[in-house]
């Protein structure tokens, strides 16, 4: 990897950002090598064999929830406690709507540059912002993707704020996923031995909803960079719609060692993963697992995905507090200190995707977290 002074690197990052063309602009310009600030060190974790990967990520049929609620809760609990990732089918989001959402994101990203430039911004106060790498100036290496972020709840952007290719379908899709999120939070609450409405309403899991529409252009050197480097999500829950390209991988935390496992596209399915805030609130009972996206090879086509992030409202002062006791497997003492959406996101965004878990910053030292010894 090239050695470049900090000043020169910052200059080159600004030059890239000032084009407002993103990674797609590099591809359109005909680059045949990946610029140095996109180059990543190899990840040391091995990749699971296809035979293991085939059954590693649970597939849950939500239609069974009305038939055997207890079994459905048990399936969700097992997935969220052990893997942190699962896929759902019969989830209530229409297949045609999912297809149109992906197509709309592709249309926007493949428009002429002049149509996208008005939306290119790093102003986090903007409800709609298009850019390449939210942490471009903080992360050790940039990722080979462009993203449109849209803050969809509690305040919905006006139609005029949303790029024309995505108007209508984005609002409809986000509303459908929010309804699905409410169902998932009920199942997860019950899985923790809590009232069905706890995580969604009491803890604030459905207070806010952000959409990140990702576009991963074909890459001339896919072995040199990443579509998305290893990270966990600063959310309660993430619901991901991915196209048929593949490339999403999660860390499988099974013995004898951690390894990467594919999260393959499933026809009509949506990927669900536990976020950092849900691991915090559940007091480490549920797992926020690190994941990444491998680049698409030069033959293409570009990969498209749409992530819906369930979170606290950014302006919320509601504390995010670990649940102690109250169910099988619950811990007697808090593993994390309480926080707020603003504090957690400030820490997460401030460090960027640097391979470290944001949860470490909020973890209580083991000695302090242990319950006091019994009286003598």
Mean pLDDT of each 10-residue bin along the chain, 376 residues long: 77 98 98 97 91 87 93 97 96 98 98 98 95 94 98 93 98 98 98 96 94 98 97 95 97 84 96 96 95 94 97 83 73 88 84 80 73 42
- Residue 60's beta-bridge partner residues? 88
This prediction's pTM: 0.93
6-369: CATH architecture: Sandwich (2.60)
- Give the integer Cα–Cα distance in Å for 241 and 239: 7
- Give the integer Cα–Cα distance in Å for 251 and 57: 11
What's the confidence (pLDDT) of residue 329?
Answer: 63
What is the radius of gyration, based on Cα positions, of the chain? Answer: 21
One DSSP character per residue, 149-175 reads EEEEESSPPPGGGS-GGGTTHHHHHHH
The tokens of 104 are what? 């709309």
Name the 3-class secondary structure at 61. Answer: strand
What's the confidence (pLDDT) of residue 374?
Answer: 41
Estimate the crossing angle of helix 169-191 against helix 69-82, to 10 degrees.
Answer: 90
- Give the integer Cα–Cα distance in Å for 316 and 338: 14
- Give the integer Cα–Cα distance in Å for 262 and 215: 19
What's the confidence (pLDDT) of residue 210?
Answer: 97
The tokens of 338 are what? 């309480």
What's the confidence (pLDDT) of residue 373?
Answer: 41
Instruction: List Cβ neighbours of 171 (8 Å cut-off, separation of 6 or more).
Output: 152, 156, 159, 162
Long-range CB contacts for residues 189-194, cutoff 8 Å, separation at least 24 = 190/69, 190/73, 191/73, 191/74, 191/76, 191/77, 191/80, 192/77, 192/282, 192/285, 192/286, 192/323, 192/326, 192/327, 192/330, 193/326, 193/327, 193/328, 193/330, 194/323, 194/326, 194/327
CB atoms within 10 A of CB 299: 7
Q: Specify whether the CB–CB gap between 82 and 191 falls below 8 A.
A: no
- Residue 241's beta-bridge partner residues? 306
Eight-class DSSP state of 198: I
- Cα torsion angle, 355, 224, 124, 208, sign: negative
pLDDT tens digits for range 32-49: 999 999 999 999 999 998
Q: Specify whether the CB–CB gap between 179 and 88 falls below 8 A.
A: no
């Amino acid at each position: 990897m090239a050695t470049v002074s900090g000043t020169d690197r910052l200059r080159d990052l600004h030059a890239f950002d000032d084009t407002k063309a993103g990674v797609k602009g590099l591809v359109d310009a005909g680059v045949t090598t990946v610029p140095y600030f996109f180059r990543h060190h190899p990840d040391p974790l091995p990749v699971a064999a296809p035979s293991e990967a085939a059954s590693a990520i649970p597939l849950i049929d939500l239609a069974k929830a009305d038939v055997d609620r207890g079994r459905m809760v048990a399936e969700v609990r097992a997935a969220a406690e052990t893997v942190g990732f699962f896929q759902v089918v019969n989830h209530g989001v229409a297949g045609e709507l999912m297809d149109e959402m992906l197509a709309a994101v592709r249309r926007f990203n493949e428009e002429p540059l002049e149509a996208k430039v008005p939306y290119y911004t790093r102003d986090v106060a903007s409800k709609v912002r298009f850019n390449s790498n939210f942490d471009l100036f903080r992360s050790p290496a940039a990722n080979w993707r462009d993203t449109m972020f849209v803050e969809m709840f509690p305040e919905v952007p006006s139609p005029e704020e949303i790029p024309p290719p995505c108007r209508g379908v984005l609002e409809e899709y986000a509303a459908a996923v929010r309804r699905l999120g409410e169902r998932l939070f009920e199942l997860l609450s019950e899985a923790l031995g809590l009232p069905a409405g706890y995580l969604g309403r009491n803890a604030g899991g459905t207070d806010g909803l952000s959409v990140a529409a990702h576009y991963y252009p074909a890459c001339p050197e896919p072995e040199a960079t990443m579509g998305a480097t290893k990270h966990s999500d600063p959310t309660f829950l993430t619901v991901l719609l991915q196209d048929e390209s593949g490339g999403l991988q999660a860390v499988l935390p099974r013995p004898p060692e951690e390894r990467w496992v594919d999260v393959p596209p499933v026809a009509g399915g949506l990927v669900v993963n536990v976020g950092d805030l849900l691991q915090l609130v559940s007091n480490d009972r549920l797992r926020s697992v690190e994941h990444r996206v491998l680049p698409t090879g030069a033959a293409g086509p570009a990969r498209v995905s749409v992530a819906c992030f369930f979170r606290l409202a950014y302006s919320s002062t509601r504390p995010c507090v670990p649940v102690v006791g109250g169910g099988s497997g619950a811990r007697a003492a808090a593993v994390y200190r309480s926080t707020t959406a603003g504090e957690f996101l400030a820490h997460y965004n401030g460090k960027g995707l640097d391979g470290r878990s944001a949860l470490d910053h909020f973890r209580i030292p083991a000695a302090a977290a242990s319950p006091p010894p019994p009286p003598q």
